[in-house]
A = this chain, B = another copy of it.
Amino acid sequence: MQGLMQDWSMTLDRVLDHAKIVGPDREIVTRSVEGPIVRTSYGELWTRARQASHALREAGIGVGDRVATLAWNTARHMEVWFGAMGIGAVLHTLNPRLLPDQIAWIANHAEDKILFVDLTFLPIVEKIAGLMPTVKTYVVLTDRAHMPSTALPGAIAYEHFIAGRPTDARWGGFDENTAAGLCYTSGTTGNPKGVLYSHRSNMLHAFAANQGDAFGLRAKDVVLPVVPMFHANAWALTFIAPMAGAKMVMPGAKLDGQSIYELLEEERVTFTAAVPTVWLMLLSHLRDNKLKLSTLKRVVIGGSAVPEAILRAFEEDYGVEVVHAWGMTEMSPMGTLCSMGPQQEELSHEERIKLKLKQGKTPFTVEMKIVDDAGADMPRDGKTFGRLLVRGPSVARAYFKNEGARNPDGTVLDAQGWFDTGDVATICPMGFMTITDRAKDVIKSGGEWISSIDIENIAVGAPGVANAAVIGVYHPKWDERPLLIIQPKAGETPVREAIMQFLNGKIAKWWTPDDIVFVEQIPLGATGKINKMALRETFKDYKLPTAA
């Protein structure tokens, strides 16, 4: 027997429709790529998104067609976003931080039909346009006055593209499982893989992300998404801000400390979100200029683990609550949030700081568990490592065009529908998860797992050490044992014994590296992380002294 409630397809256009009704005058403020601060409203954004829909239709875009953007967070990007999704097209956010060839590869793989590009990235696109035969139309996100001369075939200014278009484009009316967005993960091995969000998955994700212990936005909030829209939907903020009717502040191309500070203060921002790097820049600007944050209440930090110094600075020096979050593109991206619950009310400040360095708990809709290599569930004791598996309506079941398929049907899940995050983690009895390593970097010693990251974080504090990396190398008895690789500080010559002494007592005895090697330069990847693949290649035949 079925219920007798109304049919209501979960399509994302409803989010902007709602904002237009409950907050037509609520502002979206953008630091425009052209320079000045520009102000629009949900009412106006709705109108212009409808015009964008109409213009997209005229450009031959229909349900399922990929609409690419190479753009900063701006109101115009939001217009294209909802304009494309509203008519069932797939908004594909290209990541401008990739190499031009990678961008072209991804645009081709996605078969993008039209590309909206910010002035900043026009030189990139000019360079690779010849490599993207599927792209038939180029729209530059500016007005005619700022339109540069360009070699792009038939490039048109966005304001011209939508000017005078009617607002009667029909939104929604298609299946809620229709694809809405496409976002590629860079990945460390193989080609980039596309995560294909649906209207339903993004809406359920938005609902989950906007619960009280997650982002819990209210209409009176002022939200500054520093996290780019090309990073997994700006962590849902592009959906939940209009859902709540909150004011939005879009930083455009300027993410430096001073620019972000100006927006935070001048627009009276209450809620913001970004990766740690952004906050390092902001905190440095605050300190150098002896500034305060007068309206900011909460900051979500994700993308990589929150450094303790950033956590303490926000909470202790500026009175801003930090919400440590973890997720991945394949999770839309929310996985866990480190919100304090009833069991944390009695904690001391220092205990809370320590707890907040964990990645946190799952909100409703997300399930997680840790397993060993054989797939057996591992205990939630806060100590045992396991591969972190996740499940839920906003977790990928497959990649676009079945890249990286693990099953004949193209999916990447196990038999119970779990997605392997590639991370290794612990889960404590209260449900707080801590990422301890990437699965491929964990060292498997005699059936037990050793976290390379934990050792690195300690070793980097040893005297004379500029950077430290730990990899597992072959050991005849234990399968693998840790090798510590040290890059000395310029002009210093740290010695093996002093480092071993430094580690002593700070890590478990059996985690102690079996050897230390010194290198001039530890290789880094494109995002600044240690390139362990390269290290493993370099040291693949390394003979440990303990292996005799």
Contact = CB atoms under 8 A, between A and B. Distances in A.
Interface string A400-436: 1000000000000100010100000000000100000
Interface in A337-357: 339-342, 345
Interface stretch (A121-129, A135-143, A191-199): A191-199
A210 B364 CA distance: 12
A208 B15 CA distance: 12
A396 B4 contact: yes
Given A4-B399, A5-B332, A220-B340, 8 more contacts: A2-B178, A2-B198, A8-B365, A8-B393, A213-B244, A213-B245, A218-B341, A219-B342
A3 B178 contact: yes
Contact of A7 (B247, B342, B397): B397
A316 interface: no
29 contacts: A1-B90, A2-B177, A2-B178, A3-B180, A3-B196, A3-B198, A3-B199, A4-B195, A4-B196, A4-B396, A4-B399, A4-B400, A5-B197, A5-B201, A5-B397, A6-B201, A6-B393, A6-B395, A7-B393, A18-B364, A21-B362, A204-B207, A210-B212, A211-B216, A212-B221, A213-B219, A216-B216, A216-B218, A220-B341
Contacts of A400: 4
A278 to B, nearest CB: 24
A64 interface: yes
A243 interface: yes
Given A210-B211, A244-B212, A219 B339 contact: yes
A217 B214 CA distance: 11
Contacts of A391: 6
Contacts of A198: 2-5
Contacts of A393: 5-8
A175 B26 CA distance: 39
A386 interface: no
The 6 closest A-B pairs by CB, nearest first: A3-B198, A8-B393, A5-B201, A1-B64, A219-B341, A207-B207
A417 to B, nearest CB: 6
A94 interface: no
A450 interface: no
B342 A247 contact: yes
A22 interface: yes
- Residue of A217, A341, A393, A397 with highest tally of chain B CB at under 10 A: A341
A225 interface: no
A269 interface: no
A398 interface: yes
A21 B220 contact: no
B413 A6 contact: yes
Interface in A209-234: 210-213, 216-221
A212 B216 contact: yes
A47 to B, nearest CB: 18
A364 B5 contact: no
B177 A3 contact: yes
A221 B198 CA distance: 33
Nearest to A220: B342
B219 A3 contact: no
A179 interface: yes
Interface string A1-45: 111111110100011001001110010000000000000000000
A361 interface: yes
Contact of A1 (B178, B364, B399): B178
Nearest to A380: B21
A200 interface: yes
A431 B367 CA distance: 37
Nearest to A431: B22
A39 B459 CA distance: 49
A108 to B, nearest CB: 17
A335 interface: no
Contacts of A220: 340-342, 345
A295 to B, nearest CB: 12
Interface string A467-486: 00000000000000000000
Contacts of A207: 204, 207-208
A147 interface: no
A5 B431 contact: no
Contacts of A452: none
Given A211-B243, A342-B26, A396 B5 contact: yes
Contacts of A217: 212
Contacts of A263: none
A451 interface: no
A243 B3 contact: no
Nearest to A397: B6
A89 to B, nearest CB: 10
Given A6-B396, A199-B3, A218 B339 contact: yes
Contacts of A177: 2-3
A516 interface: no
